A and B are shown apart, each in its own frame.
Chain A
Amino acid sequence: NAGVMQNPRHLVRRRGQEARLRCSPMKGHSHVYWYRQLPEEGLKFMVYLQKENIIDESGMPKERFSAEFPKEGPSILRIQQVVRGDSAAYFCASSSDRGLTDTQYFGPGTRLTVL
């Protein structure tokens, strides 16, 4: 059973470009979470999605950031018009169902560098 997959692992963008980060959850998992780790900081929650639904986006910046988890295919975190402050490691996690002892399984992350 493959783990959570993220691609690309490293992404370099110039200011003003768009960044698309992909996350394929573990097989059988229908819940996806995105977290961000800014330099010298801990992991911070961004958004929680189920298939075709955003459940909680309270951690997402209000502008330029969006996330989706379509019926088919991976979850996408999209950052439009990137700025230097978006440089960070973006981690995706998935879980199987919303039970009391849900474990979130993490992917290896995408490291975004904005030049």
Chain B
Amino acid sequence: ILNVEQSPQSLHVQEGDSTNFTCSFPSSNFYALHWYRWETAKSPEALFVMTLNGDEKKKGRISATLNTKEGYSYLYIKGSQPEDSATYLCASDKGAQKLVFGQGTRLTINP
């Protein structure tokens, strides 16, 4: 994998359901993987910075896992709420502080 890729591009989930989506990144020279939550007309909000293979981080109903050997990270949202509707971005950092972003997963929670 040469670029950071996120799937799916968009996702519609019923309120109360749990969901997850994927970020794939180049595994060579890995340094850190960042997750952001971005609501329209607002600043991207930092969720997690992950560095260690096998790492799992949690913030409320949102959690993320990291596999640096195969180059992927999953973001999970448990019991989706309407306020979870946003675009979720991941970004790879190869140690130069130059984040390479994926295109994002646009999540819509249907009430």
Contacts and interface: CB of A to CB of B under 8 A. Distances in A.
A80 interface: no
A102 B51 contact: no
B43 A42 contact: no
Nearest to A33: B97
Interface stretch (B11-19, B68-76, B78-86, B98-106): B98-106
A104 B43 contact: no
Interface residues of B, number: 24
Chain B binding surface SS class: loop
A100 B50 CA distance: 10
Nearest to A48: B97
A58 B36 CA distance: 23
Contacts of B98: 33, 45, 48, 56, 58-59
Contacts of B89: 42-43
B96 interface: yes
A5 B97 CA distance: 20
Contacts of B104: 42
A83 to B, nearest CB: 24
A1 interface: no
Interface string A76-92: 00000000000000010
A95 B101 contact: no
Contact of B96 (A56, A91, A106, A109): A56
B43 A109 contact: yes
A41 B44 CA distance: 15
A24 B17 CA distance: 39
Given A3-B43, A109-B43, A104 B96 contact: no
A100 B43 contact: no
A102 B97 contact: yes
A98 B100 CA distance: 17
A41 B99 CA distance: 15
13 contacts: A43-B101, A44-B101, A48-B96, A48-B97, A95-B97, A100-B32, A101-B32, A102-B32, A102-B93, A103-B34, A103-B46, A107-B43, A108-B43
